[in-house]
Structure 1
């Protein structure tokens, strides 16, 4: 799950939602009921886990955090 409205959070939330690995709550201040429902959906829908695992594999294949840091420097 992702949430946020400041800085680049809306863009990050949208990108993660498009991968299928995250459910965007669409606000910086989600209500407890929205959080509860989102947690329930993410935990019961196996597509979120599969998408997160695929995203993790892509990150590893691209060199992970070490490669990201190297490119930034």
Structure 2
């Protein structure tokens, strides 16, 4: 298993565990959790990309990380 696949597997496990631990939150924040899952998938793909694409890959990673942070804040506020 490559490093990026390992990271993706770890992230998926963390997401599943956090979803199980917040069962009630899942009921009314499903879209937030789905958005976060999609952002983690996008992050994994960006990490797997070979070249930096003129700095845009790194910029995209920063933007995705910032979006994940905002979604996490929204989930906490929504509890």
Higher helix share: 2
TM-score normalised by the chain length of structure 1: 0.32
Larger relative contact order (Cα-Cα within 8 Å, sequence gap ≥ 6): 2
TM-score normalised by the chain length of structure 2: 0.31
